[in-house]
C-alpha cells in the first residue's frame, strides 16, 4: 500500500478509538502514523455519529434542559467540565483519547488540564467531536476561521469549508458568521464537525439588536450564549477585557481597534459611559459556561492591527485584565484560553508570550498569526506563518490561521487550504523547535524517502501529496521518473544525493584505506547513471 489510509487505535475501552492517518511506504518499511483531524466523514444531511454520547451520559452530571430530546446542561450544583474532573483526579475517556492521540501519558493530560495549562474544549452538546488538547505541553494546534458574512456565502458552502479545513489539518474551526442565518449555519457546522467549534457570540447578539452596539445588554448576550451553548459550541470568544478606561489608550494608534468584538464593546462602553457588561457580569457568565463545559477564549479586543501598534499599553492593559478573569473562571471550573495578536514584528514576539504566560498564570495562549510585517496584503498567510511559527516555539498553544485574503476579502476554498497548510507548517516547525517527542520522526521519514529516491513515499508523507506530486510531474511527467534516482534540478549526471549514497557504500567498504580499490573498481561514485 502506497497511499494514505485511516487506522484507529483502541484505548482502555472499545469506544475509545483514536484515528490516525497511516502512510504506507514502499518495500518492507513500516507505515508512518500521523495525527489526523479529518473525522470519520459525514453526510451533511445526517451529521456525524455521537462518539462522545456514552461518555457524557455515563458521568450522570447533565440532563436535558427542557425534557427528552432537548439539549443537555449540568444538573443543579454540578459542573460537568473537563477541568472539574481533572482537578478531581479523574482521567475521562476524552483525556485518554487525547493521550493516545498525542502519544503521551494520560496523567500528563489530566495534570495539565487541572493546572489550567491546557484546555479540552468539548461542549456536552457536541458529542460528535473528537477530543483535541490545546496546551504548550502538547502539539501546537491550528484554528481555521470560516463563516457566512453580510456580503456573501451560503450555509452549504460553510459546511464544505469546515470539511475541507479539517481535511488539511485544522484542529479547531471558528464559525464567525454574521448576517442572516447565523443559527442555521452554526447548527450545520456543529453537527458535521469532528473538531471543536468556536464562536464569537457578540456577533449574533449584535444581529439581535439590529446592528446597534448601544442596544446590546447583558440579557441579550446571555440569551445568545445559552442558544449557542445548547447547540454545542465548544469555545467562545468573549471580549471581557476591553474596559472603559482602556479605550482611550487605543485612540492614537496607527490602526486603532481592529478587533470587531473589541470595537463593538468599546462603542458600547463609551456610549453608556459604563463598564463593559461582559466584565461586570463575568461571574454569571462563568456559571453559565460551566453548565455546558464551554471553554472561554478571552478575546483580545485591543490587539494591535499594525506593526506600529504592537506591544503597546492598550494591548498589555487588557492582557493584565484577562489574567484576572482567568482566575475567576478557574474558580468556577471553567476552562480558559487567552487570545493574542495580531501584528507583531519578530523582535517583540517573545515578550508577548512571556507576559501572557506570566500575567495569565500559564493559561494556553491562542494567537492570530502574528503578522510580522504589514506590507504584503495577499500574502498574509506567509507574513503571519513566520510569526506563528515563532510564537508557537515560544509556547503558544494554538495558532489561528490567516489566509491570503486577509484584509482584502472572504476566503474561498483555495484560501482556506492555503491558510491551513501555511499554519500546519508553522505549528510543526514549532513542535520541532520545542523538541516535542516524536515530532521529528515525520521529517526524518520524509527526508529518508527523499534521500533514497522513494518519490511516492515522499509525496505521500508530505502535507499536501497531490500538489507535491503535480509539481514533480510538471517537469518530469513520465511514470519512470517516479522511481528515477535523480530529479529535474540536477538531472541524471550531477545528482548530489546519488553521489552521497554511493559514498555511503564506499564508506561501508572502508573509506580511508580503499581509495585505490575504489578507483580501480570503476570509480562508481561519480559515474553517470546512464
Q: Of 188 and 386, which has the nearer Cβ to a copy of itself?
A: 386
Q: Of 55 and 506, which has the nearer Cβ to a copy of itself?
A: 506
DSSP assignment of 168-237, as one string? TT-SEEEE---SS-HHHHHHHHHHT-SS-EEE-HHHHHHHHTTT-GGG--HHHHHHHHHHHHHHT--EEE
What is the nearest approach in angstroms of a copy of itself to the Cβ of residue 287? 28
Q: Of 131 and 262, which has the nearer Cβ to a copy of itself?
A: 262
Q: Of 32 and 298, which has the nearer Cβ to a copy of itself?
A: 32
What is the nearest approach in angstroms of a copy of itself to the Cβ of residue 409? 3
42 is annotated as contributing to ligand binding = no
Q: Which residues, in sequence order, are bridge partners of residue 337? A: 297
What is the nearest approach in angstroms of a copy of itself to the Cβ of residue 290? 29
Q: Are 233 and 225 in contact (CB under 8 A)?
A: no
What is the nearest approach in angstroms of a copy of itself to the Cβ of residue 97? 24
Cis peptide preceding 342, ω within 30 of 0: yes
What is the nearest approach in angstroms of a copy of itself to the Cβ of residue 494? 5
239 is annotated as contributing to ligand binding = yes
490 is annotated as contributing to ligand binding = yes
Backbone angles phi, psi at 115, to 5 degrees: -80, -5
Q: Are 126 and 190 in contact (CB under 8 A)?
A: yes
495 is annotated as contributing to ligand binding = yes
Nearest CA to 346 among 387, 381, 288, 379?
387
Q: Of 38 and 372, which has the nearer Cβ to a copy of itself?
A: 372
Q: Of 296 and 394, which has the nearer Cβ to a copy of itself?
A: 394
What is the nearest approach in angstroms of a copy of itself to the Cβ of residue 25? 15
What is the nearest approach in angstroms of a copy of itself to the Cβ of residue 322? 19
Say how far apart CA 226 and CA 285 lie, in whole Å: 10
Nearest CA to 277 among 330, 240, 326?
240
339 is annotated as contributing to ligand binding = yes
Rounded to a whole number of angstroms, the CA Rg of the chain reads 25
145 is annotated as contributing to ligand binding = yes
Handedness of CA 280, 286, 289, 295 (dihedral sign): positive
What is the nearest approach in angstroms of a copy of itself to the Cβ of residue 380? 9
Q: Of 131 and 169, which has the nearer Cβ to a copy of itself?
A: 169
Say how far apart CA 427 and CA 384 lie, in whole Å: 12
Cell of 473: 510531474
Q: Of 216 and 289, which has the nearer Cβ to a copy of itself?
A: 216
How many other CB atoms sit within 10 Å of the CB of residue 50? 15
What is the nearest approach in angstroms of a copy of itself to the Cβ of residue 433? 4
301 is annotated as contributing to ligand binding = yes
Cell of 227: 442558544
300 is annotated as contributing to ligand binding = yes
How many other CB atoms sit within 10 Å of the CB of residue 27? 7
H helix or E strand, kind and range, residue 22: strand 17-23
Cell of 394: 515560544
Q: Of 63 and 244, which has the nearer Cβ to a copy of itself?
A: 244
Q: Are 121 and 134 in contact (CB under 8 A)?
A: yes
Q: Which residue has the cell 479540552?
A: 120
Backbone angles phi, psi at 17, to 5 degrees: -125, 110
Q: Which residue has the cell 499594525?
A: 306
Note the helical H segments in 434-478. Answer: 439-451, 455-461, 465-475
203 is annotated as contributing to ligand binding = yes
Q: Are 191 and 185 in contact (CB under 8 A)?
A: no
487 is annotated as contributing to ligand binding = yes
306 is annotated as contributing to ligand binding = no
Binding residues for substrate: 145, 174, 203, 239, 259-261, 300-303, 339, 366
Binding residues: 145, 174, 203, 239, 259-261, 300-303, 339, 343, 366, 407, 487, 490, 495
Binding residues for Zn(2+): 343, 407
Binding residues for [4Fe-4S] cluster: 487, 490, 495
Amino acid at each position: 500500500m502506497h497511499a494514505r489510509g485511516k487506522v484507529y487505535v483502541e484505548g482502555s475501552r472499545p469506544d475509545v478509538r483514536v484515528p490516525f492517518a497511516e502512510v504506507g511506504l514502499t518495500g518492507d518499511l513500516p507505515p508512518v502514523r500521523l495525527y489526523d483531524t479529518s473525522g470519520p466523514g459525514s453526510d451533511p444531511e445526517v451529521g456525524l455519529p455521537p462518539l462522545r454520547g456514552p461518555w457524557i451520559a455515563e458521568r450522570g452530571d447533565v440532563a436535558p434542559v427542557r425534557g427528552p430530546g432537548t439539549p443537555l446542561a449540568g444538573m443543579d450544583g454540578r459542573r460537568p467540565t473537563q477541568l472539574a474532573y481533572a482537578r478531581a483526579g479523574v482521567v475521562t475517556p476524552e483525556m485518554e483519547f487525547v493521550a493516545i492521540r498525542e502519544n503521551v501519558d494520560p496523567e500528563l493530560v489530566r495534570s495539565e488540564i487541572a493546572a489550567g495549562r491546557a484546555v479540552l474544549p468539548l461542549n456536552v452538546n457536541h458529542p460528535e467531536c473528537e477530543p483535541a488538547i490545546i496546551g504548550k505541553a502538547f502539539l501546537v494546534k491550528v484554528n481555521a476561521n470560516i463563516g457566512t458574512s453580510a456580503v456573501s456565502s451560503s450555509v452549504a458552502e460553510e459546511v464544505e469549508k469546515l470539511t475541507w479545513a479539517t481535511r488539511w489539518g485544522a484542529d479547531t474551526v471558528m464559525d464567525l458568521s454574521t448576517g442572516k442565518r447565523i443559527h442555521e449555519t452554526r447548527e450545520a457546522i456543529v453537527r458535521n464537525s469532528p473538531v471543536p467549534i468556536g464562536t464569537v457570540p457578540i456577533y449574533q447578539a449584535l444581529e439581535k439588536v439590529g446592528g446597534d452596539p448601544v442596544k446590546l445588554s447583558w440579557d441579550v448576550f446571555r440569551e445568545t450564549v445559552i442558544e449557542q451553548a445548547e447547540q454545542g459550541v465548544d469555545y467562545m470568544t468573549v471580549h471581557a477585557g476591553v474596559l472603559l478606561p482602556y479605550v482611550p489608550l487605543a485612540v492614537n494608534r496607527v490602526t486603532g481597534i481592529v478587533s470587531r468584538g473589541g470595537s463593538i464593546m468599546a462603542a458600547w462602553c463609551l456610549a453608556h459611559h459604563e463598564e463593559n457588561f461582559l466584565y461586570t457580569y463575568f461571574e454569571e457568565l462563568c456559571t453559565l459556561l460551566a453548565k455546558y463545559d464551554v471553554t472561554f477564549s478571552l478575546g483580545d479586543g485591543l490587539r494591535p492591527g499594525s506593526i506600529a501598534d504592537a506591544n503597546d499599553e492598550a494591548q498589555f492593559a487588557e492582557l493584565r485584565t484577562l489574567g484576572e478573569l482567568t482566575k475567576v473562571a478557574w474558580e468556577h471550573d471553567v476552562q480558559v484560553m487567552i487570545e493574542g495578536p495580531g501584528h507583531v514584528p519578530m523582535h517583540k514576539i517573545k515578550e508577548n508570550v512571556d507576559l501572557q504566560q506570566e500575567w495569565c498564570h500559564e493559561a494556553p495562549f491562542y494567537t492570530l498569526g502574528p503578522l510580522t510585517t504589514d506590507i504584503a496584503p495577499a500574502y498574509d498567510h506567509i507574513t503571519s506563518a513566520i510569526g506563528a511559527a515563532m510564537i508557537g516555539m515560544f509556547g503558544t498553544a494554538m495558532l489561528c490561521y490567516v489566509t491570503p485574503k486577509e484584509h482584502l476579502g472572504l476566503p474561498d476554498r483555495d484560501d482556506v487550504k492555503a491558510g491551513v497548510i501555511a499554519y500546519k507548517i508553522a505549528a510543526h516547525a514549532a513542535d520541532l523547535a520545542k523538541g516535542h517527542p516524536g515530532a521529528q520522526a515525520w521529517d526524518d521519514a520524509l527526508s529518508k524517502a527523499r534521500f533514497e529516491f522513494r518519490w511516492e513515499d515522499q509525496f505521500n508523507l508530505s502535507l499536501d501529496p497531490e500538489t507535491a506530486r503535480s509539481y514533480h510531474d510538471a517537469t518530469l511527467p513520465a511514470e519512470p521518473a517516479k522511481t528515477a534516482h535523480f530529479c529535474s534540478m540536477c538531472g541524471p549526471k550531477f545528482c548530489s544525493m546519488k553521489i552521497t549514497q554511493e559514498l555511503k557504500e564506499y564508506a561501508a567498504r572502508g573509506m580511508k584505506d580503499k581509495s585505490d580499490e575504489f578507483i580501480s573498481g570503476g570509480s562508481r561514485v561519480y559515474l553517470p547513471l546512464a
